[in-house]
Amino acid sequence: MKILVPVRRVPNPDVKVRLMKDGSGIDTEGVNFLLNPFDEFAIEQAAQIVESSEGEVVLVSVGGADCEETLRAGLAVGGTRGWLVETDATLDSADVATLLAAVYKEESPDLVIAGKQSVDTDNNQAAQMLAAKLGLPQACFAYKVELGDGKATVEREIDGGLEVKEVDLPAVITADLRLNQPRYAALPQIMKAKRKEIKKSSPAELGVELASRTKVLGLIEPEARAAGQIVGSVDELVEKLKNEAKVL
């Protein structure tokens, strides 16, 4: 079985988000990047499936040259080979989906497993758009995945319980954080990952002309929360809640 796993390079979510001075975007100067944590669950799931049957896990990333490092990180924990669609353009979810669809057509995998969202923009769109573009069934936020005869049974956590979906393969599945426990890489795996094949293409080589339909007009920081007050008595509290906060 061949499984395609899109992976994304994201700014370290532990670093405080700071805006560019002109509000045109997020300031990533001096911020380190890492493999999107949700993608680790997707890679792990794909690796487990391939280990129990046969096949390969193809990791694909869209972005700048630095994404090669991110792909290598994924290749150390279960990826068989990588594909980098190299572009420095600012991409929206639809662009990413278009590029992934082009790679899908070249690879013809049996299954796509993606992280449920990338933790930078948190859009949670690309995988669903990919399924739509390819006319494939989708099962998102997987908690458990079981493969059967040309089908996948996917349990997903919803408010109040679990929902079970059955989709025909090929399909697009997105991984939630309780899907599995991503493995650690043994040292030889890291060394091996450095020699694994990574194919590089430009969007043009895939026949895709990027025409972003989303434009960020500006970003502003949320207003700082006002400081609390210490009141002297219950009467004063009630008075303030009534007249100042106007909640009573």
Partner 1 sequence: MSQLHKPVEEDIRELRDRLHPSRVLFGPETCERYARDESTRLYNLPCAVAIVENNEQVSTVLRWASEGGFGVVVRGAGTGVAGGAVPIAGEVVLSLEKLDRIIEIDEENLTATCQPGVITADLQEEVERRGLFYPPDPASADVSTIGGNVAVGAGGARAVKYGVTRDYVTGMTVVLADGEIVEMGGKNVKDATGYHLMQLMMGSEGTLGVITSVTVRLLPLPTRQTSLLVSFPDIEQAALSVSEIIRRRIIPAAAEFIDEVAIEAASKHLGRDLPSQEKAGAYVFILLDGESGEELQLQMEQISEIVEANGALDVLGAEDRGQQARLWESRKVVGDAMKGLSPQIGKADVVVPRGHVATLVKEVKKLALELDLSIACFGHAGDGNVHVNILRRTLGDEEWDNLLPLAFAGVMAIVKRLGGRPSGEHGIGVLKKDELVDFVGTRAHEIMKGVRKVFDPKGILNPGKVT
Q: Are 117 and 38 in contact (CB under 8 A)?
A: yes
At closest approach, how far in Å is the CB of 75 from partner 1?
11
At closest approach, how far in Å is the CB of 89 from partner 1?
24
Give exposure, 178-202, as e/b (b: 16+ Cβ within 10 Å). ebbebeebeeeeeeebeebebeebe
At closest approach, how far in Å is the CB of 27 from partner 1?
8
- Residue 220 or 230: the one with the smaller Cβ distance to partner 1 is 230
For residue 65, what are its two tokens? 């040259």
Q: Are 130 and 172 in contact (CB under 8 A)?
A: yes
CA dist., res. 69 & res. 236, Å (int): 59
- Residue 70 or 174: the one with the smaller Cβ distance to partner 1 is 70
Q: Which residues contact 68 (CB under 8 A, 6 or more apart)?
A: 82, 84, 198
- Residue 33 or 83: the one with the smaller Cβ distance to partner 1 is 33
CA dist., res. 97 & res. 177, Å (int): 22
- Residue 147 or 190: the one with the smaller Cβ distance to partner 1 is 190
Chain residues binding partner 1 by CB under 8 A are: 12, 14-16, 18, 29-35, 37, 40, 69-70, 72-73, 76-77, 181-182, 184-187, 190-191, 194, 230
189 backbone dihedrals φ, ψ, rounded to 5°: -65, -35
At closest approach, how far in Å is the CB of 184 from partner 1?
4
At closest approach, how far in Å is the CB of 187 from partner 1?
5
CA dist., res. 9 & res. 96, Å (int): 13
- Residue 217 or 224: the one with the smaller Cβ distance to partner 1 is 224
- Residue 12 or 212: the one with the smaller Cβ distance to partner 1 is 12
At closest approach, how far in Å is the CB of 176 from partner 1?
16
